[in-house]
Amino acid sequence: MEHNKIKHVVIAGGGTAGWMAAASIAKLLGRTVKVSLVESEQIGTVGVGEATIPTILTLHELLKIKEQDFLSAVGGTFKLGISFENWHDVGKNYIHSFGFTGKDCWAAGFQHFWLKGRDMGISKEFGEYCNEWLAAKRNRFAVLPNQNLNYAYHFDSSRYAAFLRKMAEEYGATRIEGKIQQVHQDSDSGFLTGLTLESGQLIEGDFFVDCTGFRGLLIEQTLQAGFDDWSHWLPCDSALAVQTMNVQPPIPYTRSIAHEAGWQWRIPLQHRTGNGMVYCSKFWSRDEAEEKLRGNLEGELVTEPRPIKFTTGTRKRHWVKNCVAVGLSSGFMEPLESTSIHLIQRSVVRFMQMFPREGVRQPDVDEFNAQMAAEVENTRDFLILHYHVTDRTDTPFWRYCKNMDIPDSLQHRIDLFKETGRVFKVPTELFGENSWVQVMLGQGLYPQQYHSIVNMMGDDELKQFLDGIHSSVDKLVSQLPEHERFVNHYCREA
């Protein structure tokens, strides 16, 4: 490996991935490294990722982003979870909310206490014991000083990229306009050395971040990182994205509405609503998907439906030589649980944690790739869970999903929960135990037993325990304002 110091980082491509990388590196490492970003106004970005998960707040804290200014600039609203409609079966809905449900004990999660209460007929719906779930159901929200609500954002991704660009440039990052015509490599090491633009300009650098989207111009076309195709587990390969006018106040959650061969998203912003249909082209034509989407839209169209084609999967290596892939160039697992922006963030932060200031070292490369592989595989399993654990058999698509082979790692989680009610979070995994429990229960998977420690509580004591949690949740949520009212007061778009 080369041991030259890294003095100049070149980011190929803009959009959310490119500008998140540029803003982060310029703000947090910029005094010691030069940052340049190459993008072309002629090349559009996918720009669909409008829903996030709570980890984005951690990055914003690192970047010292003031929440109100950010939300005002991007037309943002708040998100407490995702409503999954028709996933368990047609007409059956549930919410996967952020935060925690109930109270665990040292030996067993809250679901065990809830399960016994359910057998006794005293438990309410599982989500009733969760602040975020009940606030979402009642369309209420506030940013609380004691952080009693875990939340994320809905925002306009093109405005977000512009917001991050402004920040990156304030911290010294340089934007270079132009289309990349040629990627240069060192003839001996194979390391990238520069990018030639159509104008003839040569951009030389010591390290390169590939944010060129699905085509992976650097990581795949040049460095041949390889790709693991997961479309046999995550079969949707197409999407249509469209924006509509708001016709009702924005709700504090994303809607994911399952249809015959895919699912529809609905994301409420301050100034419009983001919509789309994710579908499998083996079971639906584009015309069929578009007809279903148009028939289920609310409000006047702001844009015409825009098609997006993708293959679910991941690069075999996210870091090769002196190049890291970030965003769609590293792979894509569809937007079902709003993980795309999170994975951009994790790639950027992990790269900065392992920043090869004195030059690229193979142990760093190997560790980065191992950590990214573990993270994306755990995320993959969580997404497959939604499709596979279902009672839907009404269409060929859902019959395929229900009967398909799944990874052994996911089968183990399903078997463990079904037989014992137990869920264990893998270290560094994105989704916690509560997320797995909510989705498994929501998809209709109920454990055959609960932990015996629950029997240490008498029946009256268990009832008091459950009622006390519910009363506390109800009291907190009852004090919250309506979501739209809070947004108008807190961060109305400029």
- Tell me the catalytic residues: 79
Measured from the Cβ of residue 383, the count of other Cβ atoms closer than 10 Å reads: 22
Q: Which two tokens stand for residue 469?
A: 């949690």
DSSP alpha helix (H) spans, 79-208: 110-120, 131-137, 157-170
Packing angle of the helix pair 67-74, 483-491 (nearest 10 deg):
110
DSSP for 421-487, please give it: ----PPTT-SS-HHHHHHHHHHTT---S---GGGGGS-HHHHHHHHHHHHHHHHHHHHTSPBHHHHH
Measured from the Cβ of residue 254, the count of other Cβ atoms closer than 10 Å reads: 28
Long-range contacts of 133-137 (CB under 8 A, 24+ apart): 133/80, 133/81, 133/95, 133/97, 133/99, 133/101, 134/473, 134/474, 134/477, 135/80, 135/252, 135/477, 135/480, 136/80, 136/81, 136/83, 136/95, 136/97, 136/251, 136/252, 136/253, 137/95
Query: Is 364 in contact with 354 (CB distance < 8 Å)?
Result: yes
Pairing of strands 174-177, 180-185: unpaired
Beta bridge partner(s), residue 184:
194
DSSP alpha helix (H) spans, 389-407: 396-403
Q: Using CA atoms, how far apart are residues 33 and 48, in angstroms rounded to an integer?
A: 31
Rg (CA), the chain: 23
State the residue for tokens 């990581």.
219
Phi, psi torsion values for 224, nearest 5 degrees: 50, 60
The CA-based angle 127-132-135, given to 5 degrees, is: 95
**Length of the chain in residues, anyone?**
494
Closest to 25 in 3D by CA, of 203, 167, 220: 167
